[in-house]
Amino acid sequence: MKNFDRRYIEKQLEIIDSHLHKPLTLYIIGGGAMGFYDLKTATKDIDVIVTKEDEAISLLKALHESEYKTIERIEPIYLKMKTRAVIENNDGFRWDIFVNIVCGGLTLSKEMISRAHLFKKFKYITTYLVAPEDIFIFKAVTSRPRDREDMFILFSHGLDIKSIKQEIHRQAKLDMSKAWLSYFFVGLDELVEQYKIIFPEYDLFLKIAEHEMMERLIIEFTKKKPQTIDDLVTLLKCDKKEIKQVLKNLEKQGIVTKKDDFYYIFE
């Protein structure tokens, strides 16, 4: 597969725009956005998010009219990422299209939208570049080739760690079914190990991930049968003080309730 520079991508956007008949907003993430930020010279594909299904349909129609073809048999990693469609032209340039959600749960939040930078307006298409901090988060929870390399490039250019921390907490609340804090930390840990960097507040991110994992394990054990704090200390082999704090948080969220010395899943 070839690499494609920003001039090529802009030309493709112009071609696709010529096949549209109503406004369309694209949020560009990944290597494509990094190219427009001048953080990469070229990319193999462009990852875009639209916020509505009808926008995805319009985009796909315009892509097909621009001589792109949908890839029916895609790699398992793209299935895991819940890509709405993967579509490619004869040059081998690929679009990965998502509708509001990436990786089956990582949401384009209103805060991500507010941080995004207006890139270019065509006749119908308006393009925004997702902020480097949010690209870093997307990269951390995926495991495609070169994701860690891209994370290193983003890190080397400087990141607002506070924004990253706030967003991963927000994502965890938006989708309680996924261990986003833990997924993020796995990607971060691989970055630190591979590039031997010192990442600001690394220990705090580790603590956040451990706390989330403890929450999930407590919920799983308590679903099976009511548990005392001492039961959970034995099962988790963790400090009693930490377990008490996690239980307190779960009670506040209305997930567990206490009766006598036992904790139950709230129903």
Predicted confidence (pLDDT) at residue 144 exceeds the cutoff of 70: yes
CA 60 to mean position of chain CA atoms = 22
Based on the fold, state whether residues 190 and 215 are members of the same structural domain.
Answer: no
Based on the fold, state whether residues 94 and 226 are members of the same structural domain.
Answer: no
Predicted confidence (pLDDT) at residue 260 exceeds the cutoff of 70: yes
If pLDDT is split at 50, 70 and 90, which confidence band does 253 have? confident
Task: Give me the sign of the Cα torsion angle 201, 206, 208, 211.
Answer: negative
CB neighbour list of residue 37: distance below 8 Å, 6 or more residues apart = 129, 132
| pLDDT at residue 42 in the model | 82
Helices assigned H by DSSP within 118-228: 132-140, 147-156, 161-174, 180-195, 202-224
If pLDDT is split at 50, 70 and 90, which confidence band does 215 have? confident
Cα atoms found within 13 Å of the Cα of residue 96, Cβ hemisphere only? 24
User: Which has the higher per-residue pLDDT, 78 or 145?
Assistant: 145
Strand, helix or coil for residue 157: coil
Q: Which residue's entry shows tokens 């080397």?
A: 156
pTM (predicted TM-score): 0.85
| pLDDT at residue 151 in the model | 96
Q: Identify whether 252 is part of a domain.
A: yes
Q: What would you measure as the largest C-alpha separation in the chain, in angstroms?
A: 68
User: Which has the higher per-residue pLDDT, 210 or 49?
Assistant: 49
Mean pLDDT, residues 132-138: 95
| pLDDT at residue 134 in the model | 96
Predicted confidence (pLDDT) at residue 79 exceeds the cutoff of 60: no
User: CA 139 to CA 121: how far, in whole Å?
Assistant: 26
Q: CATH number of the domain at 228, please.
A: 1.10.10.10
| CA–CA–CA angle 215, 219, 223 (5° rounding) | 175
Based on the fold, state whether residues 159 and 236 are members of the same structural domain.
Answer: no
| pLDDT at residue 33 in the model | 94
pLDDT over 70 percentage in the chain? 94
User: CA 51 to CA 112: how far, in whole Å?
Assistant: 12
Amino acid at 258: K
What would the pLDDT profile of 15-58 be if each residue is shown by its tens digit?
999 999 999 999 999 888 999 999 988 888 899 999 999 999 99
Q: Which residue's entry shows tokens 């890839």?
A: 71
| pLDDT at residue 264 in the model | 87
pLDDT over 90 percentage in the chain? 58
Based on the fold, state whether residues 47 and 174 are members of the same structural domain.
Answer: yes
Beta-carbon neighbour count of residue 124 at 10 Å? Answer: 17
Q: CATH number of the domain at 29, please.
A: 3.30.460.40
Based on the fold, state whether residues 179 and 226 are members of the same structural domain.
Answer: no
What would the pLDDT profile of 102-120 be if each residue is shown by its tens digit?
876 789 999 999 999 999 9
Domain span at residue 215 reads 211-265
Phi then psi for 84, rounded to 5 degrees? -65, -40
Q: Are strands 24-29 and 256-259 parallel, antiparallel or unpaired?
A: unpaired
